[in-house]
Structure 1
């Protein structure tokens, strides 16, 4: 998010005005239109998703009533005494009697089930005691002999209930041209003696289903089908699918209601009385055709309005942004150091006032920069000179006193070494005015200093100076180590205790890391927090306090930036550790670095 805000700040004013216009006008308008359209489509889907299941439930009720009427008609067989007496018979004395009974029962079946408004009945059968009485509009077959042509259903077949509905795949019966049908089955019970006399079957053409669901299936592109519990398709608006298996039935998320999948709205309703489910599917695009047309017209009008609005906003933004862009260009020239700028702006609006103020400010800045630059330059030179001249009188006095003692004791070798080290230090301090020197010279300088101090403190001082050999020729600011080592002598030394000072220089992630560590008395947590705060604020310390820390930290920040400030770790009674990080610079890169800063 921060990156995006920064990126937006870098855009031109004209771009910002256009983006702002788009954000506060075009995007909300487009979003509002999209939300309105989406909600309308969802509303249509919800309404249809509620309405269609109601129609399916109504179709279920209609079918159940029709089937119940057929079952009621099948019950009438118990009221016909002649037929019931025939069904009670088990044997015949001759074939003539059997044929006579067969003719009587089949005439009853034809008059009761095949005439009048019963055009959907394509066959009616009565199976009783190895006898088959039938009347059918179409020829049929089941792969069995005449006496078993109904297949599994005979007087020995026990239904779970007296009345059942069977589907074509549940029976071996089939009619000519594979006419699809539903088979109503009812056992014939002799209520006088509670015996099972046989079974009556009524085969209904699926056309009666079409007549029942016509109000639901009248939409274009809609599909309507009926499946049983196992998913077999009993009826389908596409006849070629009748008798196949609806493999997706087990995956339907709801049993009664509507759901959407693959841009299609599905609805389903289970029969309460029977083992089937009505399914309805209609493409969502069919439901939203009218709204899609309105949406397309609205989109076209929206784009026309957007183009006109953006064109007018561009003209407006250009009129506002052009003088500001001209002013920004002149500011970039001033940024590069060219202050000889005279803006010509005759307008008296805010931009004109800003241009006049900018011209006046440039003249004042040009004068102040020159003055401030000279002051800062002299100040930095004075700080460096003060640091270079920081061989304080106490150090000189103690060193000369030690040399005098050595002369009296005729220690010529030690005197030569001391004088050599002191002379080298004075030459390094006063002879070389460069701000950057090779690391090896800086290390030689602090070693000379430590050798002289060793002659003074003898056994109470131990030190080591270790640096990676590959870093000896790398450049470092002059006098970057001595002030910190002097600070250790002034603040870390405890009388009667050996002071250990260790200096290490290593390379880490292409950065030179310098560490000065001692085992002195350390710094209290309160004072350490104060020193860190003063270093962070770049405050100047008093001369008798931690002037060396301030000077070194200030020069590091001046040359390399705030990320290279001193890092101090200290604990009372344990010691102090000072860390410095310096970019690795060669002799040639030092000059480029100075020019960049």
Structure 2
């Protein structure tokens, strides 16, 4: 199709447009992505820097409160007195009230701290606003176990039991510090300083990454501190945190693919004081959503422009390319031999008053003349082919009939009347079969009967010196073959066998082999020389029947059979000539299987 003027013109339009627009789009898209990514990195890291300073300030306030409580005499006195055995209940209450008043004052001094509560391992707790009591429930809390067992000082967002006593169910972030000891497991008392998660979330929510991107505050253990959604501790997120911790940079940007195959941009910043980390995650598709929309719009506009250009090219080339295209299509049909379709494909003569019209008219006349010439040549070739086949068929009968009559004369002279009668009956059946000259093909059963009648005549002629067997596979009798293909092979085997020795063994078999009928004739004669085999093969492949008709070769019977099979079956016929197990020649004919009364397609006859 690209040989036509229209196709080439359209292809040039498309190529120029696609190359120019594609290059421009690629440059714009990549540059835009680089600019957006650079702005995201600088803007996000700048905001993370500000938020990190804010977190440091909050943490500093928490540490100041912890230091104040840890170093104050009120705290030490409370811890000492509550640790005394036998301390009266009234003094315990008085000590708890003093401690609660102190905690209230400490809390009010720092706006970031929501509440400070001190605990003892015996279940006692004291908080601000004169709140204290004995409730060992906190001993079963995970934060208490992590503090005692692992020394974890910071607790991620959770609902505090003491806060609930103040009707506050909002989650808090807490820091736990031992009292009078530095090692958590040795301390019998500790303080828990609560900061509302909202105190961290409000400024964090003002930092935006794209439309759906989010920033998470992670603790030193890599888990979210504020209870935000979107950073569940999955295997994928755990691996991401491990990668970020191993990164030697304090802040930066990396690209990663999530489990859904979506590309994500990860912005991170490590905080100094507590090894916390800020991690921002935004899908690349979200970040570049507007850019992708712009690209789709550009593609839509480019498609419309391209269609318009193609339409213009078609309009410009229609008057010339259409008749030429139809003429080329007609030439292709002529090349395949389909002259009827070629005439239908050619442009009409009406309206073609130019060079294209003259070429079309000339080509139409040429097609008509060529079609008539081929038809005449084909009919002559078919008649010649049929005449050659009949001539090959008639070549066999005189030779066989002469030999049989000579045998009958010999039997009459020897007064072997019974043998002569058997020969005459076998000859009669063979002659009736031979006189069916209108039949090119016969059933394999009839061909084998014909060969059997011929074998009967040979047995009478040669007696015990001839050992001839004919075997066939069951179910092959109804398949068809061309006639007179076994008798010449048997005759050759017997003739050359007796020239070679005094006893002749001939085996004839009919069997099925891979979609073919395999006819095999084997003997114990002298075999066939290699040069003779090559000559027979060349003659069969060249299909020059006149060479077989005038051949003076001693293998005229075999050459006749191979030539007729090659003429009739064409490429579907194969043969093999070699050495048999009996020591003589082995001739195998492979003939395509045909059911009785069916005919081989004319196209398969060469």
What's the TM-score, normalizing by structure 2? 0.71
Alignment of 1:471-486 (within 5 A): 475-486=480-491
Is residue 2:195 matched to residue 1:209?
A: no
Do the aligned residues in 2 keep the contact of 1:123 with 1:134 (CA within 8 Å)?
yes
Contact persistence 1:343–1:355 (CA under 8 A): no
How well do the aligned residues superpose, as a CA RMSD in angstroms? Answer: 5.5
**Where does residue 409 of structure 2 map in the other structure?**
404
- After superposition, what is the alpha-carbon deviation per residue over 1:81-125, rounded to whole angstroms, capped at 9, x for unaligned? 56545544455988887677656655544444422xx32211112
Q: Which residue of 2 aligns with 1:3?
A: none
What corresponds to 1:389 in structure 2? 395
The one of 190, 207, 213 aligned to 1:199 = 190
Match of 1:356 among 362, 365, 373: 362
In structure 2, distance between residues paired with 1:271 and 1:525: 94
Matched residue SS, 1:254: helix
Mapped to 1, the partners of 2:347 and 2:310 lie a distance apart of 35
Q: Distance in 1 between matches of 2:290 and 2:341?
A: 66
Q: 1:35 to 1:429 in 2, by over 3 A?
A: farther
Whether the 8 Å CA contact 2:330–2:341 is kept in 1: the answer is: no
| 1:180 maps onto 2:150 in alignment | no
Aligned mates of 2:47, 2:503 — CA distance in 1: 101
1:251 and 1:425, CA in 2 relative to 1: closer, same or farther beyond 3 A?
A: same
Determine if the alignment matches structure 1 residue 189 to structure 2 residue 180: yes
Q: Which residue of 1 aligns with 2:250?
A: none
Q: Deviations over 1:110-141 (max 9, x none)?
A: 444422xx3221111234697755326xx989
CA shift in 2, pair 1:310/1:103, >3 Å: same
Q: Secondary structure at the match of 1:221?
A: coil
Q: In structure 2, do the counterparts of structure 1 residues 455 and 358 end up closer, same or farther at CA, with 3 Å as the change threshold? A: farther
SS in 2 for 1:578: strand
In the TM superposition, 1:150-299 aligns within 5 A as 159=148, 164-167=153-156, 169=158, 172-175=161-164, 176-189=167-180, 198-211=189-202, 213-214=204-205, 216-217=207-208, 219-225=210-216, 234-236=225-227, 249-252=234-237, 253-255=239-241, 256=244, 258-262=256-260, 265=264, 267=266, 280-282=280-282, 284-299=284-299
Confirm whether residue 499 of structure 1 aligns to residue 487 of structure 2.
no
1:203 positional shift: 0.9
Give the distance between the partners of 1:312 and 1:337, measured in 2 at CA: 31
CA distance in 1, matches of 2:301, 2:272: 52
Equivalent residue for 1:70?
A: 62
What do residues 208-237 of structure 1 show as CA deviations (whole Å, max 9, x unaligned)? 322563454465433445577999865245
Residue 251 of structure 1: CA displacement? Answer: 4.4
Residues 140/30 of structure 1: CA separation in 2 closer, same or farther (3 Å cut): farther
Report deviation, 1:74. 1.8
Say whether 1:449 aligns with 2:454.
yes
Distance in 2, matches of 1:481 and 1:337, equals 46
Please, which runs of 5 or more residues in structure 2 have no aligned partner? 245-253
SS of aligned partner of 2:586: strand
Q: Is the 8 A contact 1:45 1:265 kept in 2?
A: no
1:266 Cα shift?
7.4
Say how many residue pairs are matched: 567
List gaps (5 residues or longer) in structure 1: 1-8
Q: Distance in 2 between matches of 1:384 and 1:288?
A: 84
User: Please, which moves more after superposition, 277-286 or 263-272?
Assistant: 263-272
State how 1:287-326 maps to structure 2 within 5 Å. 287-312=287-312, 314-315=314-315, 316=317, 317-325=321-329
